[in-house]
């Protein structure tokens, strides 16, 4: 999963546009995955919620496993679950190539990330809006990606928290200090009007749920528009 490290601060990273399945038709998830693959997404994010870490409940590994064979697009599992260690193997076995855990939900984060890597998956940590970046300062060597949340997790369709942009910028600077490239993902309220701020602050992996699924011209047009806007924002950032 690690890209060759671009000379961290001054070259265009790979832009990844990733849908959240939260707004998808849960009665037709396999078909929805195929539509997303056709639309040209880079990965598909599964929002796993346990009703404890977040005030909402979605699905487990079995639902993801049922959709695995419908597409070849990589899957990532965003585990919004308390104390995830015992469930992580199930999500890797279900076909998720990347596992995102919340720092706030892991009592022993270093051990949890080692578990993910030992299972052969890529590892990422998500930080809620209130959680400081230095929470992950001592596990950068284990990270393939950092997720900075721009909403409080639990629901789609929430408003983008623009005050997270300085945190995104600081996160990119922190990750540039690592000895390998670490993707920076943003999740929550990403649309044509907010992606410029998030990508311009340093995010290269962008999650969109409700805006992408509601796009008047369909998923393909939505993916293309978001990719173009993110690329433009990075071009300005690097100028
Ligand atoms: C929050 C979820 C949402 C979702 C994206 O727990 O993680 O952020 O993925 O939803 P939108 O794009 O509708 O904010």
User: What are the pLDDT digits (tens) for 194-204?
Assistant: 999 999 999 99
Q: Decide: 158 in ligand 1 pocket, CB within 6 A.
A: yes
The pLDDT of residue 76: 98
* Integer Cα distance of 48 and 80 in angstroms: 6
In angstroms, the first-to-last Cα distance of the chain is 27
Q: What is the mean pLDDT of residues 80-88?
A: 98
Q: Whose CA is nearest to atom 6 of ligand 1?
A: 153
- Pocket of ligand 1, candidates 58, 187, 213, 222: which has the most ligand atoms within 8 Å of its Cβ, to mutate? 187
Q: How confident is the model at residue 237 (pLDDT cuts 50, 70, 90)?
A: very high
Q: Would you list the DSSP string of 153-176?
A: TT-SSPPP-GGGHHHHHHHHHHHH
* Residue 9 binned pLDDT confidence (cut-offs 50, 70, 90): low
- pLDDT score of 33: 98
Give me the active site residues, please: 47, 187
Percent of the chain with pLDDT over 70: 96
H or E, element range at 115:
helix 109-118
Reported as a single tens digit per residue, the pLDDT across 24-39 is 999 999 999 999 999 9
Phi, psi at residue 52, to the nearest 5°? -115, -60
Domain 8-238 class, CATH top level: alpha beta
Q: Give the mean pLDDT of 21-26.
A: 98
The residue whose CA has the least distance to atom 3 of ligand 1 is 156
Q: Which atom of ligand 1 is nearest to the CA of 158?
A: 14
Residue 5 has pLDDT above 60, yes or no: no
CA atoms within 13 A on the CB side of 6: 14
CB of 19 sitting under 6 A from ligand 1 = no
**Any ligand 1 atom below 6 A from CB of 210:** yes
Per the document, the length of the chain is 239
Q: Which of 125, 202, 155 is nearest to 20 (CA)?
A: 155
- Name the residue ranges covered by the structural domains of the chain: 8-238
CA of 209 to the centre of ligand 1 (A): 6
pLDDT the model gives residue 3? 54
pTM above 0.75, yes or no: yes
Q: What is the rounded average pLDDT of the residues 46-69?
A: 98
Residue 11's pLDDT is what?
86
Q: How far apart are CA 159 and CA 3, in angstroms?
A: 31
Query: Residue for token digits 């890797």?
Result: 92
Q: What is the pLDDT of residue 8?
A: 60
The closest residue, in CA terms, to atom 8 on ligand 1 is 188
């Amino acid at each position: 999963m690690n890209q060759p490290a671009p000379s961290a601060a001054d070259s265009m990273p790979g832009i990844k546009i990733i849908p959240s399945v939260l707004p998808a038709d849960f009665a037709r998830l396999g078909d929805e995955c195929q539509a997303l693959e056709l639309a040209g997404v880079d990965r598909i994010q599964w929002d796993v919620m346990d009703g404890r870490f977040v005030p909402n409940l979605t699905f487990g590994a079995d639902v993801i496993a049922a959709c695995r064979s419908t597409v070849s697009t990589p899957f990532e599992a965003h585990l919004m679950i308390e104390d995830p260690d015992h469930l992580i193997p199930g999500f890797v076995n279900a076909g998720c190539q990347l596992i995102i855990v919340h720092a706030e939900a892991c009592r022993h984060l270093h051990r949890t990330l080692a578990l993910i890597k030992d299972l052969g998956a890529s590892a990422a940590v998500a930080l809620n809006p209130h959680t400081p970046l230095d929470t992950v300062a001592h596990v950068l060597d284990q990270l393939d990606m950092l997720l900075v949340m721009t909403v409080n997790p639990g629901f789609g369709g929430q408003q983008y928290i623009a005050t997270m942009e300085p945190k995104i910028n600081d996160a990119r600077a922190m990750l540039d200090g690592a000895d390998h490239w670490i993707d920076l993902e943003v999740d929550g309220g990403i649309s044509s009007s907010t992606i410029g701020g998030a990508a311009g602050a340093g995010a290269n992996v962008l999650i969109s749920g409700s805006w992408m699924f509601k796009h008047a011209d369909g998923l393909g047009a939505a993916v293309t528009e978001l990719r173009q806007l993110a690329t433009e924002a990075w071009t300005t950032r690097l100028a």
